Chains A and B, each alone.
Chain A
Amino acid sequence: MKKVHIIGLGIIAVAIGIIISMASDYSSYETFSSAKLKTGKDFQIVGTLDKTHELEYDAEKDPNYFSFVLKDKNSEACKVVFHGAKPQDFERSESIVLTGRMNGDFFDASHILMKCPSKYKNDKLDINNYQEVDATPKS
């Protein structure tokens, strides 16, 4: 066997090794109920903000404590604590992707990714503005 072939096989072996290591330690999307079963590991949870609960953030008291309630895709609600500043316009988010782990009865989020309705697509005409203007020619 040529050296080049040995290297080639080595590359393939390493690549397989990477796949195996990924398969044994991947992160996954979970729900609150499944995350509760696997404490001590980080997960990602996709959900929406539960607007029936107040957001808790008081910069003066602690600028690194932000808490809210998230409903996961099974509509299970759970308190979330994020140790950072409250993202502006959080209330308007359409969906939220959290990274973190269960910590007792709340979810300890290390990262928040939120999707806002108009953040990356501007597909809505400003109809309010239009109606306002629209009224004038008639009068």
Chain B
Amino acid sequence: MVFENELRWPGIIGQLFVLTVFVSSILSAITYFISAQSKNEIIQISWKKVARMLFGVQAISVLGIVITLYYIIHEHRFEYHYAWEHSSMQLPMQYLLACFWEGQEGSFLLWMFWNMVLGAFLIFRAGNKWEAPVLSIFMGVQCFLSSMLLGIYFWDYKVGSTPFSLLREVMVGAPIFQRVDYLSFIKDGNGLNPLLQNYWMVIHPPILFLGFASTLVPFAYAMAALWKKDYGGWIDSVTPWTLFSGAILGTGIMMGGAWAYESLTFGGYWAWDPVENASLVPWLILVGGIHTMLAYKKTGHSLRSTFLFYLLSFILVLYSTFLTRSGILGNSSVHAFTDLGMSGHLVFYLIALAVPAIILLILNWKKIPAPVKEEAMASREFWIFVGAGILFISAFQITLYTSIPVYKGLIHSLTGVEIAPPTEPIQTYNSYQLPVAVLILLLSSFALYLKFKKSEMKQFYRRMIFISVITIFSTIAIAWIGDLTYPTYFALLFASVFSIVSNLYYMGIILKGKHRLYGPALAHFGFGIFLLGVLISSANKHTISLNYRGVDYGERMNNLELHTNQFMPKNSREKMGSYYATYIGDSTSEPNHYYKVLFELMDTTSNEVKEKFVLHPNAQINPKMGLISNPATRHYWDRDVYTHVTTVPEKNNDAKTEEEKFTEHQIAKGDTIFTSKSYVILESVEKVDKTEKVKLVEGDLCVGAKLHVYPMDGNDYVAEPLYLIQGGVATPINDKVDELGLIFRLTKILPDQNKVQIDIAEVKPEQDYIVMKAIVFPFINLVWLGIILCVAGFLVSLLRVFQKKKPAIKNVESV
């Protein structure tokens, strides 16, 4: 069967590119492997040449897949399932990129793309010794990733899922595909998930996936080092990559948080959702690795743990891929991908990389050099090691709890208990992670005052006492002003202020403006600011949309948490914290529906309006997904007022009003009809030439009855039901006055009596209201500032690594 207008060549080319990537990356991995194994330099070089060429083929093919898929989406070729599922005709240009990575296949492609880019940099930067073994591992991983896009059956098992499959191949059996001209019925695609239609979806995934992809670099180096039994030689080469990875992955994770805060309605930036956790854990482990690596570079200690951390970090990235894409989180996360039948494949992928890594590490463990002399308690390396251990525990707890859906089946079969993810995830995770945060804050502050190997303790104690005194006073002041007296909060408050003060002191007084060395202290300082922001914004977060209307449920009214959604009838000025809020109307700009809410801040003494602003929380009433609400936030330097719409009245649809009882009235011009709450006067009956309700063509006859409706409240409405004769068939077209719940129908025209028959139905008037939530987050800007400073710290350190290769600057330890 030949189908009309079906464009086959992009799919065929795309699929060819996928196959080429798969084959060329596996061949490149093998040739690099042979080159790495060879003792003969000439053989090494010649195999390496072949491998590089194959890498080139792979790189061009990855770009080929990207371009072909983009072409299909851009040209709206809905015969392709991927374009049909993720894009639509109305989708604005900038989101075409986003629908590119909305699906599983596309996000694997994004990952492959970054792998290719990083691999290309590695070829130039890895140096003669490391290129072959590192890229051999790199290309092996690339081969695995490309297999996710194969969509080919090996016997009965389907490997991967290709983005180039046709709609009719996916929807096998749908009767529409029996038709040669089926494409002429598929006018539009499903469209991008409306939740994802915002600019975060355009920038967040590329950064996060660059972060994920970059954790492969330390993994590949560590594997190469174990394989080539050169245990220490890789460290200098890998250092800038790990700092880069830490900065990018950290940015990516927090961008996810900012996205959630700006455009989802969790009411926060972090909810300990499994998907969030799965991306945080590899970062924690990576950061642990960066620190033990530093200790090794200065003292020779902690090399084994560096290996462990770097290997684990990428394995955990794979594990998180498995968690989020196998559908296993189905019941516990709203934003996991659905199962594409890849779980077996993903498990294989995970085992195929994790098992060799662990075995290699165990076999080499004893051979990895470690100094015989122990770390001194008063040394930086000792406390770095302790800190890395704490990060490990933190990662362990998050993984253990996030993985509950993975092992709940096992527990069930062993004990009969159906274990579930924590009912209150935020409290549960916080109760473990809060002490972790306190310890890390303290360690990351005082460890910088210790020197590697051996420190002079007198000076250390003097400085610590000085900093502690400042911290105690500042903490008490902040706690008092900010009303943060709860004991656990107090511990975190003390630790974050301690971190801020000591890292500032370190940068300002000890480093004396040598800003090239600021990296670590800046990152730690940012971490302190971040946690201070987290503490204040969540401990003092308060809902101002408290509903006091309606039924008094007794004691329940005292529990503020139980009435946090406020009912806002249109044009009614409602008290909302220190504001007055009025829902003043709505407007539509497809596909969004904006609700205008006027906020007025009152001056407490003069009782005059001090400040006025309008927020536009929006909602999409999506036919597929129901109400999708986007928050609107008023940002102040010291707080945010965050609002979102939780419910709007459901519009009476036509089907429902049909059931309403119409009463018949035969009236002449000037006559009056009484309804229960209003009276209606027939003003005129006229021929209508143009109307918004229906498209009139030549030969149609349309008559309208102009009605004036006067309710008791003194308002005045006009309604004009129509009577349309089109092609010999007469149809009445109703008109409504929603405010009064009246529906008018012009049923008959009685020319002989000079009358018309008007039928009127009364329904419950449609109310205009919104139910909304408004929350004040104090000092949430500290959260964002802290992250930016922390990432800046990584970047300063990265810069320093590059500068170090030039004339050396005075070392930190000598201060």
Contacts and interface: CB of A to CB of B under 8 A. Distances in A.
Interface of A: 2-4, 7-8, 10-11, 14-15, 18-19, 22, 26-30, 42-44, 46, 59-65, 83-89, 92, 97, 99-100, 110-111, 113, 115-116, 118-123, 125, 127, 129-130, 133-134
Contacts of B397: 18
A40 to B, nearest CB: 13
B374 A2 contact: yes
Contacts of B338: 120-121
- Most B C-beta atoms less than 10 A away, residue of A15, A60, A110: A60
A57 B561 CA distance: 18
A59 B567 contact: yes
Contact of A18 (B330, B337, B396): B396
Contact of B567 (A8, A63, A97, A118): A63
Contacts of A42: 423-424
A111 B556 CA distance: 17
A28 B418 contact: yes
- Most B C-beta atoms less than 10 A away, residue of A10, A19, A62, A121: A62
Interface string B431-452: 0100000000000000000000
Contact of B374 (A3, A19, A92, A116): A3
B386 interface: yes
A64 B565 contact: yes
B176 interface: yes
Nearest to A97: B331
A107 B801 CA distance: 59
B551 interface: yes
A7 B385 contact: yes
B551 A59 contact: no
A28 B393 CA distance: 24
B551 A84 contact: no
A67 to B, nearest CB: 12
A84 B565 contact: yes
Contacts of B393: 11, 14-15, 18
B322 to A, nearest CB: 18
B401 A22 contact: yes
A88 B547 contact: no
29 contacts: A3-B374, A3-B375, A7-B389, A11-B393, A14-B393, A18-B397, A26-B420, A27-B423, A28-B418, A28-B419, A29-B418, A29-B419, A42-B423, A43-B423, A44-B421, A44-B423, A65-B551, A84-B565, A85-B565, A87-B627, A88-B626, A88-B650, A113-B331, A113-B334, A119-B624, A120-B338, A125-B171, A125-B174, A125-B186
Contact of B547 (A7, A64, A89, A125): A64
Interface in B384-423: 385-386, 389, 392-393, 396-397, 400-401, 417-423
B566 interface: yes
A12 B452 CA distance: 26
Interface in B540-588: 547, 549-551, 553, 556, 561-567, 569
Contacts of A122: 85, 190, 624
Contacts of B334: 113
Contact of A89 (B420, B565, B625): B625
B719 to A, nearest CB: 26
B423 A99 contact: yes
B212 interface: no
B176 A130 contact: yes
A134 B179 CA distance: 10
B126 interface: no
A5 B780 CA distance: 41
B809 interface: no
Nearest to B170: A123
B551 A62 contact: yes
B455 interface: no
B423 A84 contact: no
Nearest to A122: B190
Contacts of A30: 418
Contacts of B418: 28-30
Contacts of B392: 11
Interface residues of B, number: 62
B185 interface: yes
B701 interface: no
A115 B401 CA distance: 22
B396 A15 contact: yes
B382 A3 contact: yes
Interface in B110-126: none
Given A7-B385, A63-B565, 18 more contacts: A3-B374, A4-B385, A18-B397, A27-B421, A28-B419, A59-B771, A62-B549, A62-B551, A62-B563, A63-B566, A64-B562, A64-B564, A88-B627, A92-B626, A116-B625, A122-B190, A123-B171, A125-B176
A86 B649 CA distance: 11
4 closest pairs, A vs B, by CB?
A: A89-B626, A88-B627, A85-B646, A88-B626
Interface string B615-652: 00000010011110000000000000000001111100
Nearest to A60: B567
A41 to B, nearest CB: 9
Interface in B350-386: 374-375, 377, 382, 385-386
Nearest to B621: A88
Given A18-B400, A27-B422, A113-B334, A59 B649 contact: yes
B595 interface: no
Given A11-B393, A84-B646, A85-B565, A26 B419 contact: yes
Contacts of B769: 59-60
B161 interface: no
B767 interface: yes
Given A3-B377, A44-B423, A60-B567, A89 B553 contact: no
Nearest to B304: A4
A14 B749 CA distance: 86
Contacts of A27: 419-423
B389 A10 contact: yes
B550 A63 contact: yes
Contact of B185 (A3, A59, A85, A133): A133
Contact of A63 (B389, B547, B556): B547
A126 to B, nearest CB: 9
A61 B331 contact: no
A33 to B, nearest CB: 14
A80 to B, nearest CB: 15
Given A27-B423, A28-B417, A122-B624, A46 B331 contact: yes
A44 B420 contact: yes
Interface in B153-193: 171, 174, 176, 185-186, 190, 193
B332 to A, nearest CB: 8
B771 A65 contact: no
B550 A89 contact: no
Contacts of A116: 625-626
Contact of A119 (B375, B385, B423, B625): B625
Contacts of A19: 400
Contacts of B569: 60
A18 B627 CA distance: 40
